[in-house]
């Protein structure tokens, strides 16, 4: 029997239409009986007296009347009492049935209560009941277990203070409000603090509790502890958004942060891209573990300097990005960069090596240089590359002109392509002198580009561009072919002793294909290569040290001499001279110009000269412009030198004339 049906019957049993009122009913029976008795006696006696005159008959009728009275009253009593007893019996039967039903319902309720208590007590779900004032009414044991409280009383008063962070209190009061308005809230997450101070994450479903007995509105919340899942998610998130080496946010996290700031329509902010200058050099020369240490060191320097409204991320490799929040003046950006440079610019010591860290920095400003993440990043990147190509170790703010500059470079690259195809190049030669007697020792081949519309363009301008675009390979192949055929012609003319120096860019030196081609040109030269000098720079070492050393050795095996060009600039170090099997060291013009400064500068120059000589390398002084410099070099026994003082680079016709002139005195001598 279903419960509903049973309950319905129970109510029928207690139907009140057939009620018994003991006093009223007894009175009613007594009154009816008295009236009937009185009427019977009075009327029957009167009729008997009036109708019957025979005494004997009257006595017999009186007796029969008495019997009739008894019969009638018996029938009356039977009928009235029977009806009542029927009702009473009915009621008692129903009572018995009701009792049975009630006791089975009670039994069922007890079972259900036990089940409910079992669920509330043992279910791994937080169940709390609270009222509209946020006061806790009931908390199940699992909630205490999760939160680490043992039914402590303190938990009940100001419970929010115990289990919520200050951030979360606002969130929680929002939840209360929404629940009061909407009556039901599903799947919302909150962060709670346990008694021991750790965090737990709980997902809630709440609703209004329908309790007619209580005047207050009460709410019930069911919470599931999702801390483990959340922690796993956070770990995954951490991996997805963190750079594992430095622990800083990564590129994805940075983009999100920029988007977040853009969405908030935050007042101005600056996006900085930082690139560590010559990082590859550190990596290649000292190994990746040192490179990693350097990146961590830099990450630490930046983190120390930036403020809470700022943000730092590692984009990958040696690139970092910083967001400077809420700046009002460009000066603030400069100040921060200055602090970073001061912090990072201190000499960095590791494994007995010391480094000076320099940074190329590009800045894009919001909103001036873009109002969306891609444009801002692109512009910060353009500015950073521009600061690199301008010579590194500098800050560049994005400007339209940088972009125009890029367009200019694209235009130049096109023209350069044309120049390669239509032979707009020419080689000039700068004589290298034996300083002691001012005689010509050899020549350095220097490239000249005679561009149709602009005239001569300096190699200092187009070679770095050609290196960036890869056009250097074709150019350098042309240079080697032309210079070597020139040298062949000199040899054929008896100028075998005249050396020819050819510059080889680090790009070609480390390129597998182009290097093999240059190598094949040298092999095909088929003549004495001992008076051919290949000039390389230290920048090659920064790119790929091991490869460079291998390649230099290969060139030497072919018979050419190797010169280390521009020594005294950039990353000059005596270690490089030691590492590279060079024959000649060319002292850079900037180095030579210091000899006129008396004191420390001059002392450094003289000791470097001494050292290089001791290492058994031939020395060439570059960029000699004054007689004083010349004299100094002669006095310090520098063997060779080139410079405007003696001769600028000259075209081949002038070289040939010079060589012929050189021959003449000896011819004249022979003639004598
Ligand atoms: P570099 O190899 O160090 O060449 C010497 C540069 O110094 C030349 O500049 C030369 O004209 C200049 N110079 C020589 N003496 C003096 C002087 O007394 N005073 C001053 N102010 N300058 C002097 P140039 O020809 O403009 O070449 C610049 C650089 O371009 C070269 O420096 C070299 O690194 C590069 N370069 C030139 N030709 C080639 C080439 O064929 N291949 C490669 N890879 N690089 C080249
Ligand atoms: Mg050179
Ligand atoms: Mg040089």
**Mean pLDDT confidence for 302-312:** 90
CATH architecture designation of domain 410-662:
Alpha-Beta Barrel (3.20)
In three-state secondary structure terms, 429 is strand
pLDDT at 560 over 90: yes
Residue 186 and residue 197: Cα distance in Å, rounded?
Answer: 27
Beta strand spans in 393-543 (E): 395-397, 425-434, 439-451, 455-457, 499-503, 532-536
For ligand 1, the distance from its centroid to the CA atom of residue 651, given in whole angstroms, is 14
DSSP state of 371: S
Which atom of ligand 1 approaches the CA of 502 most closely? 41
Ligand 1, pocket-test mutation among 435, 463, 481, most atoms within 8 A of CB:
463
**Mean pLDDT confidence for 416-433:** 91
**Mean pLDDT confidence for 191-200:** 84
Average pLDDT of the chain to the nearest whole number: 85
The residues near 259 (Cβ < 8 Å, ≥ 6 apart) are 373
- Of all protein residues, the one whose alpha carbon is nearest to atom 11 of ligand 1 is 649
Low-confidence winner among 46-55, 513-522, 559-568 (lowest mean pLDDT): 46-55
pLDDT classification of 454: cutoffs 50, 70, 90: confident
DSSP state of 53: -
Q: Does the Cβ of 565 fall within 6 Å of ligand 1?
A: yes
Distances (CA, A) of 264 to 258, 325, 611: 10, 12, 62
Q: Does the Cβ of 568 fall within 6 Å of ligand 1?
A: no
The residues near 215 (Cβ < 8 Å, ≥ 6 apart) are none
For ligand 2, the distance from its centroid to the CA atom of residue 619, given in whole angstroms, is 13
Tell me the pLDDT tens digit for each residue of 236-261. Answer: 777 889 999 999 999 999 999 999 99
Ligand 1, pocket-test mutation among 420, 425, 446, most atoms within 8 A of CB:
446
Backbone angles phi, psi at 287, to 5 degrees: 100, 160
Q: What is the domain partition of the chain in residue ranges?
A: 3-120, 123-231, 245-398, 410-662
pLDDT at 666 over 60: no
**Mean pLDDT confidence for 433-459:** 93
Q: Does the Cβ of 456 fall within 6 Å of ligand 1?
A: no
For ligand 3, the distance from its centroid to the CA atom of residue 587, given in whole angstroms, is 7
* DSSP H or E run through 209: strand 199-209
**Can you say how many angstroms the Cα of residue 444 is from the centroid of all Cα atoms in its chain?**
51
Backbone angles phi, psi at 416, to 5 degrees: -65, -40
Who surrounds ion ligand 3 at CB < 5 A? 565-566, 622
Residue with structure tokens 């965090």? Answer: 199
Please list the alpha-helical segments (H only) found in 306-357: 330-345
For 311-342, letters b (16+ CB in 10 Å) and e give: bbbbbeebbbbbbbbebeeeeebeebbeebbe
Tokens of 496: 């075998």
For ligand 3, the distance from its centroid to the CA atom of residue 522, given in whole angstroms, is 22
pLDDT classification of 324: cutoffs 50, 70, 90: very high
pLDDT at 165 over 90: no
Q: Which ligand is nearest to the CA of 504?
A: 1
Following DSSP, what letter does each residue of 113-160 receive, concatenated? HHHHHHHHHHSSSEEEEEETTS-EEEE-HHHHHHHT--S-GGGTTTHH
Which atom of ligand 1 approaches the CA of 566 most closely? 3
pLDDT at 522 over 90: yes
The residues near 580 (Cβ < 8 Å, ≥ 6 apart) are 536, 541, 548, 549, 552, 562, 564
pLDDT at residue 2, rounded to an integer: 46
Ligand 1, pocket-test mutation among 456, 483, 595, 622, most atoms within 8 A of CB:
622
Residue 189 and residue 353: Cα distance in Å, rounded?
Answer: 53
- Of all protein residues, the one whose alpha carbon is nearest to atom 41 of ligand 1 is 447
Residue 69 and residue 46: Cα distance in Å, rounded?
Answer: 15
pLDDT classification of 149: cutoffs 50, 70, 90: confident
Q: Does the Cβ of 507 fall within 6 Å of ligand 1?
A: no
Question: Quick check: 204 and 223 in contact, CB under 8 A?
Answer: yes
In three-state secondary structure terms, 599 is coil
Q: Does the Cβ of 284 fall within 6 Å of ligand 1?
A: no
Low-confidence winner among 42-56, 149-163, 579-593 (lowest mean pLDDT): 149-163
Distances (CA, A) of 87 to 18, 99, 458: 7, 18, 128
In three-state secondary structure terms, 502 is strand
Q: Please tell us whether the domain made up of 245-398 is placed in CATH 3.30.365.10.
A: no
Longest dimension (CA), the chain: 218
- Of all protein residues, the one whose alpha carbon is nearest to atom 10 of ligand 1 is 649
Q: Does the Cβ of 430 fall within 6 Å of ligand 1?
A: yes
The residues near 281 (Cβ < 8 Å, ≥ 6 apart) are 541, 542, 543, 545, 571
User: 3-state secondary structure string, 265-306?
Assistant: CCCCEEEEEEEECCHHHHHHHHCHHHHHHHHHHHHHHHHHHC
pLDDT at 321 over 90: yes
- In sign, the C-alpha dihedral spanning 432, 436, 437, 438 is positive
Tell me the pLDDT tens digit for each residue of 607-656. Answer: 889 988 888 999 999 999 999 999 999 999 999 999 999 999 999 999 99
pLDDT at 543 over 50: yes
For ligand 2, the distance from its centroid to the CA atom of residue 535, given in whole angstroms, is 6
- Of all protein residues, the one whose alpha carbon is nearest to atom 17 of ligand 1 is 623
Q: Does the Cβ of 466 fall within 6 Å of ligand 1?
A: no
Which CATH fold topology does 123-231 show? Beta-Lactamase (3.30.450)
Residue 400 and residue 613: Cα distance in Å, rounded?
Answer: 50
For ligand 2, the distance from its centroid to the CA atom of residue 419, given in whole angstroms, is 22
């Amino acid at each position: 029997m279903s419960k509903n049906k049973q309950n319905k019957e129970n109510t029928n049993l207690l139907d009140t239409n057939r009620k018994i009122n003991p006093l009223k009913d007894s009175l009613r029976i007594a009154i009816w009986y008295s009236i009937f008795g009185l009427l019977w006696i009075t009327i029957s006696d009167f009729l008997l007296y009036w109708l019957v005159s025979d005494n004997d008959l009257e006595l017999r009728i009186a007796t029969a009347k008495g019997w009739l009275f008894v019969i009638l009253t018996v029938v009356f009593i039977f009928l009235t009492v029977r009806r009542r007893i029927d009702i009473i019996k009915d009621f008692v039967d129903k009572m018995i049935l009701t009792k049975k039903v009630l006791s089975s319902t009670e039994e069922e309720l007890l079972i259900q209560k036990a089940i409910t208590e079992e669920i509330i007590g043992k279910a791994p779900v937080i169940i709390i009941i609270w009222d509209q004032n946020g006061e806790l009414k009931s908390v199940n044991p699992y909630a205490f277990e999760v939160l680490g409280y043992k039914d402590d009383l303190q938990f009940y008063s100001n419970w929010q203070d115990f289990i919520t962070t200050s951030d979360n209190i606002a969130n929680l009061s929002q939840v209360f409000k929404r629940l009061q308005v909407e009556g039901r809230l599903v799947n919302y997450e909150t962060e709670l603090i346990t008694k021991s101070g750790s965090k737990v994450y709980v997902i809630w479903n709440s609703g209004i509790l329908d309790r007619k007995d209580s005047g207050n509105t009460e709410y019930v919340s069911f919470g599931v502890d999702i801390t483990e899942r959340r922690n796993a998610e956070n770990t995954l998130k951490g991996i997805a958004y963190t750079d594992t080496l430095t622990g800083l946010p990564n590129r994805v996290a940075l983009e999100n942060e920029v988007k977040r700031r853009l969405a908030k329509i935050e007042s101005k902010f600056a996006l900085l891209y930082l690139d560590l200058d010559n990082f590859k050099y550190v990596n290649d020369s000292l190994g990746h573990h040192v490179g990693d240490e350097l990146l961590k060191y830099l990450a630490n320097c930046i983190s120390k300097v930036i403020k809470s409204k700022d943000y730092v991320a590692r984009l990958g490799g040696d690139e970092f990005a910083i967001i400077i929040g809420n700046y009002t003046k460009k000066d603030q950006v400069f100040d921060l960069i200055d602090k970073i440079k001061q912090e990072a610019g201190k000499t960095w010591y590791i494994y007995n090596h010391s480094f000076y860290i320099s940074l190329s920095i590009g800045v894009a400003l919001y909103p001036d240089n873009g109002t969306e993440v891609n444009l801002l990043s692109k512009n910060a990147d353009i500015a950073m590359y521009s600061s690199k190509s301008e010579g590194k170790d500098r800050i560049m703010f994005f400007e339209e002109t940088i972009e125009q500059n890029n367009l200019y470079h694209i235009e130049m690259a096109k023209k350069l392509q044309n120049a390669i195809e239509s032979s707009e190049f020419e080689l000039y030669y700068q004589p290298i002198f034996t300083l002691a007697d001012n005689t010509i020792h050899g020549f350095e081949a220097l490239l000249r580009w005679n561009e149709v519309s602009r005239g001569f363009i300096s190699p200092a301008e187009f070679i770095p561009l050609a290196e960036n675009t890869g056009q250097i390979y074709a150019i350098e192949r042309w240079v080697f072919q032309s210079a070597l055929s020139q040298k062949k012609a000199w040899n054929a003319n008896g100028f075998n002793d005249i050396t020819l120096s050819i510059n080889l860019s680090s790009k070609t030196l480390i390129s597998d294909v182009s290097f093999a081609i240059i190598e094949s040109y040298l092999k095909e030269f088929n003549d004495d290569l001992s008076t051919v000098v290949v000039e390389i720079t230290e920048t090659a070492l920064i790119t790929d040290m091991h490869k460079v050393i291998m390649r230099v050795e290969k060139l030497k095996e072919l018979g050419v001499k190797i010169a280390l060009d521009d020594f005294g600039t950039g990353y000059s170090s005596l270690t490089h001279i030691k590492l590279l099997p060079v024959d000649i060291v060319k002292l850079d013009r900037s180095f030579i110009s210091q000899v006129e400064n008396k004191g420390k500068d001059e002392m450094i120059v003289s000791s470097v000269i001494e050292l290089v000589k001791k290492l058994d390398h031939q020395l060439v002084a570059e960029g000699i412009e004054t007689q004083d410099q010349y004299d100094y070099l002669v006095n310090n026994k520098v063997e060779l030198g080139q410079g405007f003082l003696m001769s600028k680079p000259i075209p081949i016709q002038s070289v040939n004339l010079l060589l012929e002139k050189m021959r003449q005195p000896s011819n004249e001598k022979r003639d004598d």
